[in-house]
A and B are shown apart, each in its own frame.
Chain A
Amino acid sequence: TQLLEQSPQFLSIQEGENLTVYCNSSSVFSSLQWYRQEPGEGPVLLVTVVTGGEVKKLKRLTFQFGDARKDSSLHITAAQPGDTGLYLCAGALWETGNQFYFGTGTSLTVIP
């Protein structure tokens, strides 16, 4: 069973379009992280959210942690080809501290 479910699994859009990726669970997380992974490389951290309802912005990327700490979303405005990659969410549970559970991933392709 997968603790964190991401949707959509695959996304192919034109440059300039907006998109949202969702990360959902029935569990409550102490924190949630978003990573981007490019082919042949390890994931690279984009953001960490730790407070329910928190919104963080990173240039054209907006991250939100759900009020109940069970879900998160990543919104990209005016997508660019450089945004192409695999987006992964990862959550830490209160009872297991620094043990992270990763989502299934969203593979994004931005077409020039």
Chain B
Amino acid sequence: NAGVTQTPKFRILKIGQSMTLQCTQDMNHNYMYWYRQDPGMGLKLIYYSVGAGITDKGEVPNGYNVSRSTTEDFPLRLELAAPSQTSVYFCASSPPGQFGNQPQHFGDGTRLSIL
């Protein structure tokens, strides 16, 4: 069982470059999320999606874009990379549930450095 798969695992970007972080899940989950985790901190929600064609902003969306054309895939796009976007990015998915009581399944993360 693959679960949630993130690629790449590591990446170094130069300031101003752009890239797409890939996330795919094989559990047929409706809900998908993108978080960032800075050293010694918890996770901050960037964007989330409740189904194909529907996306919404989280706590820290500036500098990022997402799309959800299929149930399985939820790519995160960084335009004009900045040093402040150096972080570990986690993708997660969950089945829908009443009042957020469903478990989130996380990928192993993408470690991104902007130099």
Contact = CB atoms under 8 A, between A and B. Distances in A.
Contacts of A97: 99-100
A76 interface: no
Interface residues of A, number: 31
A112 interface: no
Interface in A30-65: 30-31, 33, 40-45, 48, 50
B99 A42 contact: no
Interface stretch (B11-19, B61-69, B73-81, B90-98): B90-98
Interface in B33-48: 33, 35, 40-45, 48
Nearest to B91: A42
A82 to B, nearest CB: 19
Contacts of A40: 108-109
Interface in A63-109: 88, 90-94, 97-105, 107
Contacts of A91: 100
B104 interface: yes
A99 B99 CA distance: 9
A98 B100 contact: yes
B44 A42 contact: no
Contacts of A103: 42
B48 A99 contact: yes
